[in-house]
Structure 1
């Protein structure tokens, strides 16, 4: 099996260190791993045709028309696509074709109460719960996992009905914020695109979050589930 790690974009998500955490896992499962520093590789049809799994960690940045066309074609033909946090849910903001492929877009991570702000990135670290959905309790990626708590950025994402939601998180109505009732959004979802599988996990702001046991389990199971050979051999959604 061949896995392609594509990393780069905004360095605040530490794309090199974060993706390096999962290289030993992929190697242990028999993947030959190729690492690229930009989405330019997506335009190489020969490479993409031989790729069984793409792990993307590119926050913001840009993608060209031929690159996103290559990515969409590869996934439609059976290549799996997965990633976490801004590396997949906040990539290529200006590209609607990419957003349709992954099925969701980061829009904010609410901050602490105004009186608690100190001017560091921890202003955006909240205590919150990731809740496994009814569908998630039987899905191979999240089966057997319990709801869990994190203290990190809590993503608010916009998604559509093609996503199969395995876990959610709820943003409460809070003082100083303009929304007036609690808002529940997906935290982990899968998506079928042609013959391919897409898995998005929104926790993963930094390597510390990625090493939280349940987060890491979801990401690693998602890699295996999304891989082309898994898609071809299993009818499980």
Structure 2
């Protein structure tokens, strides 16, 4: 039986033309039913079972407002009931510090990024093992280096990104209710998002969050 993944992507700076070809490498069509959309509200409106949601943007297409705290809360409840969720790069943007997405779900949020694209070295954590970083080697890509606020009392940092500017958390993961949450900060451009190690990170993260072995 296939698992269903909703992929929320496509905005001016992160177009579907960059993201969709990479998703074809991440999700095997024999194992996954992939639904592509630019609307986060599709997750709220669907009555079908969703095994995994992946946010590559904030999911607010032109003409729509940001999700309200109440709408965010509906997605939080889906995760508590077993839906996995992943936030990749710009999916971490526009998460407010007092929002359900930060306080109850992701435990991380975008604050700032490097002024220019820089060389970023992504290093898996070595202090403990986690399925998302299993088999992952350090990798370097020219990227927009994200700096995030991460509440490490509520999540495990599994990846670090180092540029000439700073070393910052580049990935974290935890459980909320019966659902699993993961975040990865790399992936602004085709080089970073399409790096073989980044693809493997997303594969590992999807399998872990959707409870696939």
- Separation in 2, partners of 1:224, 1:158: 25
Q: Does 1:129 align with 2:121?
A: yes
Structure 1 regions of 5+ residues with no counterpart? 112-123, 174-182
* Offset of residue 22 of structure 1: 0.9
Structure (1 or 2) with the larger CA radius of gyration = 1
* Offset of residue 92 of structure 1: 4.2
- Separation in 1, partners of 2:203, 2:98: 27
Counterpart among 55, 58, 77 of residue 73 in structure 1: 77
Report the secondary structure of 2:47's partner residue: helix
Report the secondary structure of 1:22's partner residue: helix
Count of aligned pairs between the two proteins? 204
Paired position in structure 2 for 1:118: none
**Contact (CA 8 Å) 2:123, 2:160: kept in 1 or not?**
yes
Structure 2 regions of 5+ residues with no counterpart? 61-65
Give runs of ≥4 in structure 1 deviating > 6 Å.
none
Q: Does 1:198 align with 2:181?
A: yes
Q: Does 1:98 align with 2:101?
A: yes
Note the alpha carbon deviations across 1:13-53, whole angstroms, 9 max, x for none.
22453144214542435112222321122323623xx1111
Residues 184, 105 of structure 1: CA spacing in aligned structure 2 closer, same or farther, 3 A cutoff? same
**Contact (CA 8 Å) 1:126, 1:153: kept in 2 or not?**
yes
Q: Does 1:220 align with 2:211?
A: no
- Separation in 1, partners of 2:26, 2:139: 23
* Offset of residue 168 of structure 1: 0.9
**Contact (CA 8 Å) 1:78, 1:197: kept in 2 or not?**
yes
TM-score w.r.t. structure 2 length? 0.84
Matched ranges for 1:19-168 at <5 A: 19-23=20-24, 25-44=26-45, 46-47=47-48, 50-59=49-58, 61=60, 62-86=66-90, 88-93=91-96, 96-100=99-103, 101-111=105-115, 124-135=116-127, 138-161=129-152, 162-168=154-160
Paired position in structure 2 for 1:6: 8
